[in-house]
Amino acid sequence: MITLSQLTEFLGWASIINIAILTLVTLSLMLMREKVSSIHSKMFGVKKEDLSQIYFNYLANYKALTTIFFIAPYFSLKIMAI
């Protein structure tokens, strides 16, 4: 059985990992937009003009899901421990 302290630690590390991934992907898209867009356009047959909106939606969804499923529960458990 998992304890509340183990669950809190798990959610904390999962939050850090997800924030790092989000930061890495965001920086990659900002710094290498042309190269990444070219690759994705050829791989998936999507127009380069549409990729900006797709990238924005992806980042927004990833951030929302990370906040809902990892960060908010982590802070809730930390508050409960006080």
For 49, the token pair is 């003009």
Cβ contacts of 9 within 8 Å, gap of 6 or more: none
Low pLDDT (below 50) residues in the chain: none
Which pLDDT does position 82 carry in this prediction?
Answer: 84
Helix (H) or strand (E) holding 20: helix 4-31
Which pLDDT does position 54 carry in this prediction?
Answer: 97
Which pLDDT does position 10 carry in this prediction?
Answer: 98
Q: How much is the pTM?
A: 0.91
Which pLDDT does position 65 carry in this prediction?
Answer: 98
